[in-house]
Chain A
Amino acid sequence: MSKVLVADFGTGNLHSVMTAIQVVSSGSEVEASRSARKIRMADRLILPGQGAIGTWMSELQDDNVRQAVNEAVRTKPVLGICLGLQALYEHSEEDGGVEGLKVLAGRVERFSDGLNDCGHRIKIPHMGWSKVHQTCQHPLWSGIPQDTRFYFVHSYFARSDRDSEVAAVADYGLEFTCAAARENLFAVQFHPEKSRRQGLRLLTNFLNWNGEV
């Protein structure tokens, strides 16, 4: 039986991610944990996260856990969600500046205040349903039409330095990377666990993915 580990780094949406994964995971064993041993034993890893990135990254100060995550993102199917995407980049502006895992090339920045086309304030956080524009073919997009809307809630966004690592973009005052892919790694800024059936479809695709592109 395939073992799915949902990393529990003590922030926000763990319950929602667990529930959604359990709904779509016929035949998989799903567990939430922060143990390095369990991260190593899992067949696939989900890195969820909501809240502040500083708190999330502080869980990775434990060298053993950090190393287990670093091994996983290079060897087995991994899905990052929200902070789980942002943490993969080199650096985030949040919480006074936080070093990331440096798996993906780029930086995480805060949306800036401004006005939209109608002259109204651009609200931060970016909260609600935005179109996800796929920029590459990928097994995780299987069955998901181009420009399908997913649910977002975030104040910081990833600015990718490597086009080959961008899997989708979204527009909120500016265009940002809302999905990233690299070999066995896939990460999304939006919340598939809160995005209706299209979200569940993406999670199903992840569980069926062998990690190859």
Chain B
Amino acid sequence: MPLAKRIIPCLDVDEGRVVKGVKFVNIRDAGDPVEVARMYDRQGADELAFLDITASSSNRETILHIVEAVANQVFIPLTVGGGVRTVDNIRSLLNVGADKISINTSAVERPEFIEEAAGRFGSQCIVVAVDARRVPDTNPPAWEVYTHGGRKPRGLDAVEWAKRMCDVGAGEILLTSMDRDGTKIGFDLELTRAVSSAVPVPVIASGGVGELSHLADGIEFGWADAVLAASIFHFGEYTIAQAKEHMKGRGIEVCEIIDEFE
């Protein structure tokens, strides 16, 4: 397939600053979301994801300003998530330049919200974020959906939940393994493959990337359509360009940056 597999760096934003210790050597302020976004854009990121981890109502204005500032300078798709609960929240984000809105807790609490949102704005901009954790001692393996940043089990089967969300209008699934998140030992490939083969929409794999081979594994063995990572890019261990080079070496189609436009 000639469609390139996407690499998506994710920025956690708290009180207007990028958190989780971004350490670029060649930008002035590694906590400034706009600077970080520009850096990733220059490196060849295919999209950017912003997760508003404060996500309290008083901070909604902050994330709007950030998205607007980034959208004015970076011409690649922007996905924004964290605390999105209403159609008005979505509209505000789209109006300042977000392209896709990621919804997690509110989808579980009110599944009809996804239908409403997709009906209003189109499935192409509604991403459902599924945070899943392995159910111990199950064979074949099973995963349960969690919300509230992975703290609250919801008694839902992750694969079935992802399918249901697509039925009501999700245009993409952002799938995070809570078991792997932060471990740097790679994606939960079984989970990724189970969801990716069950749903008709693209799946973004997330949680656990510690080296470049993990990204390629997510595509090759997890059958993901896109891979999301935070820390391996934030700490400057690897650039997006290196990740693409590695994936290309593994026979995966990637979108290469064309020098003549730089």
- When distances are taken between beta carbons in the complex, the residues of chain A under 8 Å from B202 are 123, 125, 127-128
Q: Range of interface residues on chain A?
A: 35 or more
Query: 4 closest Cβ contacts across the A-B interface?
Result: A51-B122, A197-B261, A129-B255, A129-B4
Q: How far is the CA of A194 from the CA of B122 in the complex (A)?
A: 17
Instruction: Let me know if A11 is at the binding interface, CB within 8 A.
Output: yes
| Other-chain residue from A121, A129, A201 in contact with B197 (beta carbon distance below 8 A) | A121
Residues of chain B within 8 A of A200, CB atoms compared: 75
Given A127-B124, A129-B3, A130-B3, A199 and B197 touching (CB < 8 A)? no
B121: A residues at CB distance < 8 A: 12, 51
When the two chains form their complex, are residues A15 and B1 in contact, meaning their CB atoms are under 8 A apart? no
Asked if A125 contacts B201 (CB within 8 A), the reply is yes
Q: Which of A34-42, A60-68, A134-142, A144-152 contacts B (4 or more CB under 8 A)?
A: A144-152
* A116 in contact with B258 (CB, 8 Å): no
Chain A residues near B97 (CB-CB < 8 A): 15-16, 19
Bound together, the chains give a CA A148 to CA B72 distance in angstroms of 23
Whether B75 lies near A195 (C-beta < 8 A) is yes
Set of chain B residues within 8 Å of A52, measured between Cβ atoms: 122
Q: Contact check, A118 vs B122: say whether CB atoms are below 8 A apart.
A: no
Do the beta carbons of A128 and B2 come within 8 Å of each other?
Answer: no
A159 / chain B contacts, CB cutoff of 8 Å: none
List the B side residues contacting A131 at CB < 8 Å: 2
Among A11, A124, A151, the residue within 8 A (CB) of B201 is A124
A-B contact pairs, 27 of them (CB 8 A): A11-B122, A12-B122, A15-B71, A16-B99, A20-B75, A23-B72, A51-B122, A117-B1, A120-B196, A121-B196, A123-B203, A127-B171, A127-B225, A128-B255, A129-B3, A129-B4, A130-B3, A145-B258, A151-B76, A153-B77, A172-B1, A194-B75, A194-B77, A194-B99, A196-B41, A196-B76, A196-B261
- For residue A50, CB closer than 8 A to chain B, the reply is yes
Q: Would you call A182 an interface residue if the criterion is a C-beta within 8 Å of the partner chain's C-beta atoms?
A: no
Digit string of B211-229 for contact with A (CB within 8 Å is 1, else 0)? Answer: 0000000000001011000
Q: Taking the complex as formed, is A76 at the interface, i.e. its CB lies under 8 A from any CB of chain B?
A: no
Q: Report, as a range, how many residues of chain B touch the other chain.
A: 35 or more
**Interface 0/1 of B118-153, CB less than 8 Å to A:** 000111110000000000000000000000000000
* CB closest residue in chain B, given A151: B77
A198 within 8 A of B: yes
**Chain A: CB-nearest residue to B125:** A12
Task: Using A12-B124, A153-B171, A194-B77 as known contacts, list a sample of 8 further A-B pairs with CB atoms less than 8 Å apart, ordered by residue number in A.
Answer: A15-B71, A19-B97, A127-B171, A127-B172, A128-B225, A129-B3, A148-B258, A196-B75
Contact B125 A128 (CB under 8 A): no
Residue of A nearest to B204 (CB): A127
Write out, one digit per residue, whether chain A residues 175-213 have a CB within 8 A of any chain B CB (1) or not (0).
000000000000000000111111111000000000000
Residues of A within 8 A of B197 (CB): 120-121
Indicate whether A128 sits within 8 Å of B6 (C-beta atoms), given known contacts A195-B75, A197-B261.
Answer: yes
Check if B124 sits within 8 Å of A125, measured CB to CB.
yes
Given contact pairs A19-B72, A123-B200, A12 touches B123 in the complex (Cβ within 8 A): no
User: A3 near B: Cβ within 8 Å?
Assistant: no
| Chain A contacts for B196, CB-based, 8 A | 120-121
Known A124-B201, A194-B76; contact A172-B3, beta-carbon cutoff 8 A: yes
For the complex, what is the distance from the CA of A151 to the CA of B225, rounded to whole Å?
14
B51 in the interface, Cβ–Cβ < 8 Å? no
CA distance A19 to B125 in the complex (A): 18
